[in-house]
Amino acid sequence: MKVEVWSDIMCPFCYIGKKNYENALKQFAGAEDVEIEWKSFQLDPTIPEGESIPNQAKYLSERKGMPAAQVDGMLKSVTATAAQAGIEMNFDQVIAANTRKAHRLLHFAKSKGLGSALKTELFQAQFTDGLDVGDTEVLVKLAGKTGLDQQAAREVLESGEYDYDVAQDIQEAANIGVQGVPFFVFNRKYAISGAQPVEAFLQTLEKSHAEWKESQPKNNFEISEGPSCSPETGCN
């Protein structure tokens, strides 16, 4: 059963949603049947690549037209919500940057089975450690932490590879009506929008998994038994 997630590294609720989803998965009996696929989404593609904005509050105030007091209240609220999920967010250190490179690197990581691991490293770098996730050197180091080959990661980042895949994810999000992230799609039938509680993810996992199991081909063979070997009984 596939769970697809559209999210952006610069979205704090995407980090919280990921954590809540993973906590739900730990409680879910059918977790071994679930495959997660991270999809790209950009909240602000207008930030020039290579440019970093070190003051998150100022960035939100100027780019989104929000009063400083409103921004301050919002960031305090998000920090408290993150803490409840076990996440430390240091908005006084957060750097706003164009996340296109990071999304390309995520597609590379996904091709090596390390998409979720890199996603976690990117979120921690962005919101806890105050690193610039638009910077190639930072991204190469994070790739290495997840087990990716650093030279291969550098080549991806410097070549523009996987840019088409990022664009396809963003277009697909538009096609299915994604207006905000995180956006979780379960087995292409159910969706959860936003960083909802663990219980909401668990309920949707259980519902979609039950239907998925019901749709799987069943073994209706008439079996004629003969001498055979099995892990449990040996050969007889």
Report pTM: 0.90
Task: Label residues 88-102 b or e (16+ Cβ within 10 Å = b).
Answer: ebebeebbbbbbbbb
Rounded Cα gap, residues 47 and 56, in angstroms: 13
Q: How many CB atoms are located within 10 Å of the residue 119 CB?
A: 23
pLDDT given at position 31: 96
Contacts of 176 (CB under 8 A, 6+ apart): 185
pLDDT given at position 225: 76
pLDDT given at position 67: 92
pLDDT given at position 127: 98
> What is the per-residue pLDDT across 7-42, written as a single tens digit (0 to 9) for each?
999 999 999 999 999 999 999 999 999 999 999 999
* Residue ranges, the chain, pLDDT below 50: none
